[in-house]
Structure 1
């Protein structure tokens, strides 16, 4: 089934300000080198590369009161929020190239605002090895890339929970987390307390990826804005080594393709983050190339014509 997609705007957010390793700031360029724009154009998508946002440098300082680089994280997320919101209001689909996953906070805050403005129902698919539901009280590191989901749901410093002046951006009920396999001890209690909908790898092993995705996508309809936040460490490190926080036991290539194809089948994806790609830790840009391959599947590439 061929499907028409809205015009796409690529937005680079080259920072590792929320991460514990240097290198994620090089992710946007690695994805461009792997041909993300060309791959989408080849699928008939109108693509505009807006270039990179320019935010504060990473100071590489220790945490202050449980948060590392909070001022810089706030500034970067504000830039991302404004850029993503501008594209959505212009009728374009933003693809935010990170950068680390703290940037999902700015991206999803913008999407949530747009949904409020347009009366759409938001569904967020969080493809990740980690729940990213830490707070300053339970974080082992202070790295804000482990906190964006908590901040989006109102747990965190006001500068992040009220990024757009309102807050919290979302309720936990709009998120579905897929591929989770690393949750910190204190974080586990918060995830349970707030009722996060988590399809961890054990559940996926038990019921299979197809059923897990059917459940995660249940209720998605023509009034749904589907946002995909794709942390490349979602993938098993045997196929995607180029990330700072590898966790064994993730989805393999075929499972990851199925996830993307089932999202494409809904026809409802309207915004996308690709984050945590760290080319410094990659081998010959293979992780970036795999990410581009998977994005092609998000835009309808499949083995056979399906209807």
Structure 2
């Protein structure tokens, strides 16, 4: 944009070395053009209703756009707009308007879309850059971000998406508890995929007595629980071996597994997998029974699934 010029009045009293009358008026006319370019924006003569390229006549104007369907408006080139040249665009329609550079200009543009109801003022460096001087809001209180939103500060309150509160370190200290681990690293306590276990390397069973072999405490959560044991008859003979997980001491409260084998042989069996959902620390038991006195080597497992 050009600058204002002063008339050279010359040296008094004759001023013969000053501007001529024509030269002074030429400067005055040029100043009028500069001031006109800086005057309050006025609307262009016609509202744009179809995709098209803007011209030099739109520079310094408020340009109203109202497209019936999505389309592209090409802004004047930076060279056409000139240094500090400005175009104010208003999307009066109900559809988005794509903003693009003038064909073949090689310009860059900082804003590529006007949503319904939005306004934006674009200014130029006079060479190849068209920036967004300022941008208005849409027709509602809702904000639309067409690109990536980056927030370098913090949110005053926890945001929600589609009415759902986000999970973060404030309301979910360990996100792995919901998504598990896929990195190959050890699963932390409380996370999905954590395995709790306890063992009884050597124990004894009285014939036909339901016996607690192992007790283990489950923290709050949802688990798949099972137990594995090796039986060896120590006195007499037996052909039935029963093993299960229980929430009650000395009783089979969940499905158990019974193996029928030749008398007085060693036998290794696994109990059915049982789902246990506990809201507080809960003791569970590996429970076994044998038709004769036997030794037992047992281990109980709990896989966290929630």
Where is the helix percentage greater, Structure 1 or Structure 2?
A: 1
The question of a shared fold, defined as TM-score above 0.5 by the shorter chain, is answered with no
Where is the strand percentage greater, Structure 1 or Structure 2?
A: 2
Larger of the two Rg values belongs to structure? 2
> TM class by shorter-chain length?
under 0.3
TM-score, scaled relative to structure 1? 0.20
The structure whose RCO (Cα within 8 Å, separation 6+) is larger is 1
